[in-house]
Amino acid sequence: MTKLRPQFVLFGDSITQLSFENGGWGAALAALYSRQADVILRGYRGYNTSWALLILDKIFPELSSPPDVVTVFFGANDAALPVPDGKHFHVPLPQYKANLHQIVSHIKSNSETTVVVLITPPPLDDEAWIEFRRANYNKQPEALPDRINEVTKLYAQACKEVAKEACVPVIDLWSVFQQTQNWRQAYLIDGLHLSVGGNRIVFNELVNVLNDILFLRADKLPMDFPPFGDIDPKNPGVAFQSWENNSNLAKVNILDW
């Protein structure tokens, strides 16, 4: 496939991997940009930022056509508590911060114009998550909890700091969710993963960020190929030729900003 459209890559853990499920924020983004951008899913269930580093140059190789937007949405696993059995997702806080910096700078090093949007982990509903793990993984009490919201908060803060230091936009999901009183029931399904309502919040926040960047607005990006209303059935070639001429100009603009 030749690159016909801008590419938006969603890079993250399970909350990204699940984003094309019913009501998911990734699918909603693909629907909004259905004629304008390709939304590429790179979500890896259970991954933390240290493992993300191991696949970074394969997903974003140097010589390839760089994506136009990348969401980087890690931290829910990094924030897991360290456990003695070695089967853990935990990444120490300073390491998480350094890893995020490395992810952002790697993506930016391929293309300065790539817009990187950091997303903090959502807040954890401690009790619901314990209940989910007890019911689904038959965990013994000593293995519970494996995550607590007070720790996730620190990772969300670190993510915001990285965004500030690297001068990239950030969606502070940890705070946004908690602005709604019943966020636990409204936005989460198991204490950690997103409900349809939670997905809608991520989508809305991401659209807000993209709307701030003029050329990425869904109502500004050029469509690929003319809308059917512009096509004269008796002489359809005219609309396509005209689209091609304008589209080339639009592409130059996108590359230049």
Footprint of a second copy on 24-43 (CB under 8 A): 24, 26-28, 30-31, 34-35, 38, 40-41, 43
Does position 218 interact with a second copy (CB under 8 A)? The reply is no
**In the chain, which ranges are continuous DSSP H helix?**
14-17, 25-32, 49-59, 93-110, 126-137, 149-166, 173-178, 183-187, 196-211, 237-256
Binding piece for a second copy, criterion CB under 8 A, among 82-90, 117-125, 182-190, 203-211: 82-90
Q: Which residue from 219, 237, 252, 256 is in contact with a second copy, where contact means CB under 8 A?
A: 237
First to last CA, the chain: 25
Catalytic position from the list 14, 175, 195, 242: 14
Q: Which residues have CB under 8 Å from 148's CB, separation 6+?
A: 81, 124, 126
Does position 9 interact with a second copy (CB under 8 A)? The reply is yes
Half-sphere exposure of 255 (CA within 13 A, CB side): 10
Does position 175 interact with a second copy (CB under 8 A)? The reply is no
What DSSP line would sit under 60-75, residue for residue? S-TTSPPPSEEEEE--
Q: Which residue from 11, 44, 73, 174 is in contact with a second copy, where contact means CB under 8 A?
A: 44
- Asked if the bond preceding 122 is cis, omega within 30° of 0, the reply is no
Does position 17 interact with a second copy (CB under 8 A)? The reply is yes
Nearest CA among 39, 79, 47, 61 for reference residue 216? 39
- Which amino acids are annotated catalytic? 14
- Judged by the rule CB under 8 A, the positions of this chain that interact with a second copy are 1-2, 4, 7, 9, 17-18, 20-24, 26-28, 30-31, 34-35, 38, 40-41, 43-47, 50-51, 54-55, 58-59, 61, 64-65, 67, 86-90, 225, 227-229, 231-234, 236-237, 240
